[in-house]
Structure 1
Amino acid sequence: MDALLLAGMDGGGAVLLHAAVHLLETVCAKGSTSHADRDEWRSLLVTAYLERHDRESDPADLRRAEQRLATISAAHSGLPERLFLVGDSFYAQYRTLQNPDDLDGAIHHYERALAATPQSDSELAARAYALGEVYQLRYDRSGRAEDLNRVIDSWDRMLTRLPRKDPDRAGMISKLGTAYSRRYDHAGALADLDHALELLELANSTLQ
């Protein structure tokens, strides 16, 4: 069974992937394993649905992944990653279809993933950045000030966790500075202009 699952979800053909999904659905439906094992099988099924969605672009698979995700216990160590992956799939679907509901879906799952990510987790910065990015997209669509505030909150948090030697650090600082500048343009608070100028100077000095 392990060989089938690996083959189906690791670049195998469509037939193998559909077989892996069917097998995981059968295992999950039986519910005869321990609680921890059930969470692991459900996590694998979420991943399989997302893999099939990535290959075949069937929105029904994303809905199935979302529904199965809701059955995984909050204590499961793999939950933050699965939440983030579902958010990624909503984001990818948004980029293809431009449906604002998909953007909201990405935000919802990224928010939950970030909230569930331990402070010590190395993925915290990347998840905070991704959340800020989708907030920015929604701000660009709607112009709602609260979304721009969330961009800044997310990217401020991201910078506190980003290693100083990260090769993308200057670019991230610059993006945060631009977000402060946009909020200054929107609301006119001089403190935001000061933050924007400080961050842009910091970005330049980081490159040197």
Structure 2
Amino acid sequence: MTSRPPLAGLVLAAGAGARFGGPKALARRADGTPWLAIAVDLLRGGGCDPVLVALGAGADEAAPLVPPDAVVVLVEDWARGLSATLRAGLGAVRVDAVVVMPVDTPDADPRAVRRIIAGAREEPRTALVQATYGGAPGHPALIGRDHFPALISGLTEDRGAGAYLARHGAATVECGDLWSGADIDVRPRGEDSGTR
């Protein structure tokens, strides 16, 4: 029996969080748990190793919130939007595939990560797999290394990998039975940005 090649996890956490009221990399649950720690644990619990965390806005304050077993990737041009964050994160991946998850999904379930990894079958290097929620595309998404050059070259403005995944027929895995699939754009009551 052969073992599966290593799969990285990538937490996208470099944005300024304008609608949220501050960088989401600094957000915490009501109990004080940083969203960054939740996202790293989610990817690790789903089977990713190593886990990378892309930081930009608020990076100096956010870096201490990153668990020590994760790798911080600094996004120098984070103000250019999601495309810059994804470009920097993919550029730091050294294994066959990466599972991408934004930091603003603290209610996500690690079983969703495991499902999309299973959806990559035996060839993660060429795979494209995306979670869906009631048929609508969402996170996490798995991107095989063979797709990195074309995806990176096509990234523009504040756009992520969604259009690329759709254009290239990403396999989909329904995860709506595990959690809502919703990201958080407005700060929930009782949670803060960690900037007090």
The normalised TM-score by structure 1 is: 0.22
**Greater per-residue helix proportion:** 1
Higher relative contact order (CA 8 A, sep 6+): 2
The normalised TM-score by structure 2 is: 0.22
**Greater per-residue strand proportion:** 2
